Amino acid sequence: MDTSATDEIIVQRALTGDAEAFGEIVRRWERRIFALAYGILGREEDARDATQETFLAAFRSLRGFRGDAKVSSWLHRIAVNQCITRQRQARVRSEAALDDEEEKNSARFVTPVAYSPSRVVEGRQETVAVRRAINSLPVELRQVVIMKEFEELTFREIADVLELPLSTVKSRLYTAMKQLQMRLQRFES
Protein backbone atom coordinates (compact mmCIF):
# COMPACT_ATOMS: atom_id res chain seq x y z
CA MET A 1 0.00 0.00 0.00
CA ASP A 2 1.25 3.49 -0.87
CA THR A 3 1.92 5.16 2.49
CA SER A 4 2.11 8.62 0.89
CA ALA A 5 -1.52 8.48 -0.27
CA THR A 6 -3.98 10.63 1.63
CA ASP A 7 -6.68 9.04 3.74
CA GLU A 8 -9.29 10.26 1.29
CA ILE A 9 -7.52 8.55 -1.63
CA ILE A 10 -7.29 5.32 0.36
CA VAL A 11 -11.03 5.49 1.15
CA GLN A 12 -11.71 5.91 -2.57
CA ARG A 13 -9.58 2.82 -3.24
CA ALA A 14 -11.56 0.89 -0.65
CA LEU A 15 -14.80 1.99 -2.30
CA THR A 16 -13.59 0.71 -5.66
CA GLY A 17 -12.87 -2.74 -4.26
CA ASP A 18 -9.23 -2.54 -3.10
CA ALA A 19 -9.31 -5.18 -0.34
CA GLU A 20 -6.25 -3.82 1.50
CA ALA A 21 -7.19 -0.14 1.44
CA PHE A 22 -9.43 -0.09 4.50
CA GLY A 23 -6.80 -2.05 6.42
CA GLU A 24 -4.41 0.82 5.74
CA ILE A 25 -6.91 3.28 7.25
CA VAL A 26 -7.14 1.06 10.33
CA ARG A 27 -3.34 0.86 10.63
CA ARG A 28 -3.02 4.64 10.31
CA TRP A 29 -5.70 5.54 12.85
CA GLU A 30 -5.98 2.62 15.28
CA ARG A 31 -3.67 4.05 17.96
CA ARG A 32 -5.21 7.52 17.91
CA ILE A 33 -8.75 6.17 18.04
CA PHE A 34 -7.77 3.85 20.90
CA ALA A 35 -6.19 6.78 22.78
CA LEU A 36 -9.35 8.82 22.31
CA ALA A 37 -11.57 5.96 23.48
CA TYR A 38 -9.31 5.25 26.45
CA GLY A 39 -9.34 8.91 27.41
CA ILE A 40 -13.12 9.03 27.35
CA LEU A 41 -13.85 5.60 28.83
CA GLY A 42 -10.91 5.24 31.20
CA ARG A 43 -10.69 1.45 30.88
CA GLU A 44 -8.39 -0.36 28.49
CA GLU A 45 -10.80 -3.19 27.76
CA ASP A 46 -13.66 -0.80 26.99
CA ALA A 47 -11.35 1.31 24.83
CA ARG A 48 -10.26 -1.74 22.83
CA ASP A 49 -13.88 -2.75 22.27
CA ALA A 50 -14.89 0.80 21.30
CA THR A 51 -11.95 1.02 18.88
CA GLN A 52 -12.93 -2.24 17.23
CA GLU A 53 -16.57 -1.14 17.00
CA THR A 54 -15.47 2.19 15.54
CA PHE A 55 -13.68 0.55 12.64
CA LEU A 56 -16.49 -1.94 12.10
CA ALA A 57 -19.00 0.90 11.97
CA ALA A 58 -16.73 2.88 9.64
CA PHE A 59 -16.36 -0.09 7.31
CA ARG A 60 -20.12 -0.68 7.28
CA SER A 61 -20.81 2.98 6.49
CA LEU A 62 -17.93 3.47 4.07
CA ARG A 63 -20.31 4.05 1.16
CA GLY A 64 -21.92 6.85 3.18
CA PHE A 65 -18.63 8.74 3.53
CA ARG A 66 -19.21 11.83 1.41
CA GLY A 67 -15.82 13.43 1.83
CA ASP A 68 -17.32 16.60 3.36
CA ALA A 69 -15.01 16.18 6.34
CA LYS A 70 -11.59 14.64 6.66
CA VAL A 71 -11.40 10.89 7.23
CA SER A 72 -9.83 11.57 10.63
CA SER A 73 -12.79 13.73 11.70
CA TRP A 74 -15.22 11.08 10.46
CA LEU A 75 -13.43 8.34 12.43
CA HIS A 76 -13.20 10.51 15.57
CA ARG A 77 -16.95 11.21 15.36
CA ILE A 78 -17.74 7.50 15.07
CA ALA A 79 -15.42 6.78 18.02
CA VAL A 80 -17.04 9.44 20.20
CA ASN A 81 -20.46 7.97 19.40
CA GLN A 82 -19.22 4.47 20.28
CA CYS A 83 -17.88 5.77 23.60
CA ILE A 84 -21.14 7.55 24.42
CA THR A 85 -23.05 4.35 23.67
CA ARG A 86 -20.74 2.34 25.93
CA GLN A 87 -21.07 4.90 28.73
CA ARG A 88 -24.84 4.75 28.54
CA GLN A 89 -24.74 0.95 28.73
CA ALA A 90 -22.37 0.91 31.70
CA ARG A 91 -23.52 4.03 33.53
CA VAL A 92 -23.66 2.35 36.91
CA ARG A 93 -20.22 1.25 38.06
CA SER A 94 -19.12 1.16 41.65
CA GLU A 95 -16.62 3.76 42.85
CA ALA A 96 -14.45 0.99 44.30
CA ALA A 97 -14.12 -0.68 40.90
CA LEU A 98 -13.21 2.65 39.33
CA ASP A 99 -10.62 3.35 42.03
CA ASP A 100 -9.06 -0.10 41.55
CA GLU A 101 -8.84 0.40 37.79
CA GLU A 102 -7.34 3.87 38.14
CA GLU A 103 -4.74 2.59 40.59
CA LYS A 104 -3.80 -0.27 38.25
CA ASN A 105 -3.56 2.04 35.23
CA SER A 106 -1.51 4.68 37.04
CA ALA A 107 1.10 2.06 37.95
CA ARG A 108 1.89 1.66 34.24
CA PHE A 109 3.58 5.04 33.96
CA VAL A 110 7.34 4.66 33.75
CA THR A 111 9.26 6.59 36.38
CA PRO A 112 12.95 7.41 36.10
CA VAL A 113 15.17 5.40 38.45
CA ALA A 114 16.68 8.56 39.94
CA TYR A 115 13.41 9.42 41.71
CA SER A 116 13.10 8.56 45.33
CA PRO A 117 10.29 6.22 46.41
CA SER A 118 8.41 9.15 47.94
CA ARG A 119 8.55 11.06 44.62
CA VAL A 120 7.32 7.96 42.77
CA VAL A 121 4.36 7.68 45.15
CA GLU A 122 3.67 11.39 44.88
CA GLY A 123 3.73 11.17 41.07
CA ARG A 124 1.31 8.25 41.09
CA GLN A 125 -1.01 10.08 43.45
CA GLU A 126 -0.99 13.09 41.13
CA THR A 127 -1.70 10.85 38.12
CA VAL A 128 -4.63 9.26 39.94
CA ALA A 129 -5.90 12.70 40.98
CA VAL A 130 -5.74 14.00 37.40
CA ARG A 131 -7.44 10.88 36.04
CA ARG A 132 -10.18 11.14 38.70
CA ALA A 133 -10.66 14.83 37.99
CA ILE A 134 -10.98 14.22 34.24
CA ASN A 135 -13.30 11.24 34.77
CA SER A 136 -15.50 13.34 37.06
CA LEU A 137 -16.18 15.90 34.33
CA PRO A 138 -19.47 15.69 32.47
CA VAL A 139 -18.97 13.72 29.24
CA GLU A 140 -19.35 16.77 26.97
CA LEU A 141 -16.49 18.53 28.80
CA ARG A 142 -14.34 15.41 29.12
CA GLN A 143 -14.53 14.77 25.36
CA VAL A 144 -13.21 18.23 24.55
CA VAL A 145 -10.36 18.00 27.08
CA ILE A 146 -9.24 14.63 25.79
CA MET A 147 -9.42 15.65 22.14
CA LYS A 148 -7.58 18.94 22.71
CA GLU A 149 -5.02 18.03 25.38
CA PHE A 150 -4.32 14.35 24.66
CA GLU A 151 -5.26 13.91 21.00
CA GLU A 152 -3.93 17.38 20.17
CA LEU A 153 -6.75 18.14 17.75
CA THR A 154 -7.35 21.74 16.74
CA PHE A 155 -10.48 23.55 17.90
CA ARG A 156 -11.80 23.33 14.32
CA GLU A 157 -11.21 19.56 14.18
CA ILE A 158 -12.99 19.09 17.52
CA ALA A 159 -15.89 21.23 16.31
CA ASP A 160 -16.13 19.09 13.17
CA VAL A 161 -15.97 15.81 15.09
CA LEU A 162 -18.56 16.84 17.67
CA GLU A 163 -20.63 18.78 15.13
CA LEU A 164 -20.59 21.86 17.34
CA PRO A 165 -19.91 25.54 16.72
CA LEU A 166 -16.29 26.55 17.28
CA SER A 167 -17.32 28.92 20.08
CA THR A 168 -19.03 26.07 21.94
CA VAL A 169 -15.89 23.93 21.78
CA LYS A 170 -13.78 26.79 23.15
CA SER A 171 -16.32 27.49 25.87
CA ARG A 172 -16.44 23.84 26.91
CA LEU A 173 -12.66 23.62 27.09
CA TYR A 174 -12.50 26.78 29.21
CA THR A 175 -15.22 25.45 31.54
CA ALA A 176 -13.53 22.04 31.76
CA MET A 177 -10.16 23.56 32.61
CA LYS A 178 -11.71 25.72 35.34
CA GLN A 179 -13.45 22.67 36.83
CA LEU A 180 -10.25 20.62 36.63
CA GLN A 181 -8.33 23.39 38.32
CA MET A 182 -10.84 23.50 41.20
CA ARG A 183 -10.84 19.71 41.59
CA LEU A 184 -7.06 19.50 41.56
CA GLN A 185 -6.71 22.31 44.10
CA ARG A 186 -8.53 20.03 46.54
CA PHE A 187 -5.83 17.43 45.92
CA GLU A 188 -3.05 19.89 46.81
CA SER A 189 -4.70 20.89 50.08
pLDDT at 28: 93
The residues spanned by each domain of the chain are 1-92
Burial class (CB in 10 A: 0-12, 13-18, 19+), 144: buried
**pTM value?**
0.66
The residue type of 157 is E
pLDDT at 184: 83
What does DSSP assign to residue 137? Answer: S
pLDDT at 100: 57
Distances from the Cα of 4 to the Cαs of 10, 15, 114, 125, 170, in angstroms?
A: 10, 18, 42, 43, 33
Element (H, E) at 33: helix 21-41
| pLDDT 10s digits, 24-36 | 999 999 999 999 9
Report the alpha-carbon angle 1-52-20, nearest 5: 20
| pLDDT 10s digits, 86-118 | 887 766 444 445 555 555 555 444 444 455 555
The residue type of 140 is E
pLDDT at 91: 62
pLDDT at 75: 93
Low-confidence ranges of the chain (pLDDT < 70): 1-3, 90-125, 187-189
pLDDT at 94: 43
CATH number of 1-92: 1.10.1740.10
